[in-house]
Structure 1
Amino acid sequence: MADVLDLDLQTLPLDAWHRARSGRMVPFAGYHMPVQYEGIIAEHRWTRIHAGLFDVSHMGQLLIPLDQAEALEKLLPADLLAMNEARPKYSLLLNQTGGIVDDLMITKRADGWYMVVNGATKVGDMAVLDAAGVTFTYLEDQALLALQGPDAVAVIAAHAPGVADLSFMQAGAFALGGTEAWISRSGYTGEDGVEISLPAAAAEAVADLLLSDERVRPIGLGARDSLRLEAGLPLYGHDLDEQTTPVTADLLFAINKRRRTDGGFAGADRILAELEQGAVSKRIGFTVEGRQPVREGARILDVEGNEVGRVTSGGFSPSLEAPIGMGFVATALGAPGSALTLEQRGKLFRGTVTALPFVPHRYHRKGKA
């Protein structure tokens, strides 16, 4: 049966490249994807110290005409009218009840609104855009790579002059390895680094070019998940879903100032009411006593044993050498320092609410250390 199901999975442009480097391939978001090469902890630590190369070509890359801004603002709480060119912004695709359909990155470019959405939700996202009358082009012939870690920018700047001049959340078109690439100084690890959109046909040559630097190693999905968890970044389908609002998810920065006043986006009535009055629950980070992680789905209990929330992400932090997690609890119980009881498979664990991120972000912002 597994072999039959595997036939339904798509392959990445670098599928053979991953396998040639002993990438352990697993099903994820409808694709064969590498979960690890030499081991999750080793790959995690390498990325924190040097530079890791991630293949995230399963993500959906869309290009939307600039004249669609008004239609897009009905779905996103971003202030698109105030956006500067080549400045990526984190935003949210919302449903009519204020739930999060997807989280995404959107950039104003000369040729349109460039949007990167999650791989597991991209088909549904495109259906939402289509139903709202938003025209778009699915850039299915583009690959997407991420080079993350303290050495990442130095590595790529040797092949794409000018990239080092970018600050966090700035982007531009650059020549890289004989092709034109759209490179943004951003990522999903909490580290400095870049994300690279380039023609799929050029992905292998560029991956080889970057990997020729001894500071770079290929990194799989396993370390990508542990890195983003340490950075306190939510994962769609786990920490975010269509029942979660931006307020409960603690993503208030994604609701821009003009939109808080004018509204006009999907679910605005509920979201603006939560902004004013507070939400009944909130996303939190927590640490766990001992060494055993508490995984997604575990119950969070109050002192009387009543369920007051659920764990949505959990794992062992290679950087802190301790178990950490995120979840949702009643707002009154979510202050940093608050004690938690976590119940997993009938076993109780002691936890403490912790401010996010667990590991400080090291994004490159001009004028700041």
Structure 2
Amino acid sequence: MKTIVAISLFIFTGMFTALFFGFDLSEASQSIEYDDEQEGLQDEVVIKFSHVVAENTPKGRAARRFASLVQERTEGAIKVEVYSNGALYDDQNEYTALKDGHIQMIAPATSKLTERFPKWQVLDLPFAFPTHEAVREAYQGTIGTQLLNSLNNEVKGMTFWYNGYKQITSSEKQLNVPSDFKRTHFRIMPSPVIDSQFHSLGASTSKLPFNKTYHNLEVDFINGQENTLSNIFSKKLFQEQEYMTLSNHGYLGYVVLMNDEFWEQLSKEHQMVINQALQETTDWIRRHSIEMNDAHLRQIKRSDSLEIHYLTKEQKKLWKQSLNPVYKEAEPIIGRSLMEEIYRLQEKYE
């Protein structure tokens, strides 16, 4: 019994000695030195950039390019996380997610803003822009400036990105003249001008998210859609269609938006880097979007899955005549000044 007591006393004495003499309590009471790498991680600015198209499209490649430029020029202080294909939000809820601060950047098709900001319908007018140069002048000139200013600080309008002219596809028949559109059902983006356009041609419409277009073509809920060649190819929409008309009847571009509160919290230096990276990316996508769409047309042709028709001058004239009422209907909403600028660009570049 004495042996057990002795052993216990020995262990207790050892623990007591170690506690009070074996450890340097003065060091233990000091704050642990903060690691430089931890500090860098804590200070890193993360921009979540959400979009709904594939990575091998003009917008998809531009988003990656922008992210790379920003990360390189800030030496990792700003990290742009790009989420493509609607991985975070689809095109029906990405704007709300941006406003609420769940993400920091989006680049929706300009048509997606028309229900909130009706003047943006000017960019959806059929045959509004005769050439790529007309689009560029619209985005960088009076029209682009007025539209970005109309956002009313709800979100921060940064720049316009380019894609290309829209084409028409159908599973039912070739769409060459306006009468061909009768009894067809099209997927459209949520723009009153686009809706009016198809109704003027005799078609019915459904407003569907971009990433649900393929499925709705597959199950024959819709039998046609309009889009750029890059989107038709990358989303394999051509596999569910029999006919395509190269009509160039409208232009599909994007507006790059940022959460306004997030932008205001950035340092002036970081704002400058982001603006410069966006400008360089805008110049890049303007130059390369045309060749990307041309390359995707060649790939669609090689697939031999579509009967492709080029709209003739006479057929284009018939389309324009049928679509004239769209202009008259939209003018009171868009406003005279923007409409006059459209007419000026048409006269200059036609």
TM-score range, shorter chain: under 0.3
Larger helix proportion of the pair: 2
Larger strand proportion of the pair: 1
TM-score by length of 2: 0.23
Q: Which protein has the larger Cα radius of gyration, Structure 1 or Structure 2?
A: 2
User: Higher relative contact order by CA 8 Å / sep ≥ 6: 1 or 2?
Assistant: 2
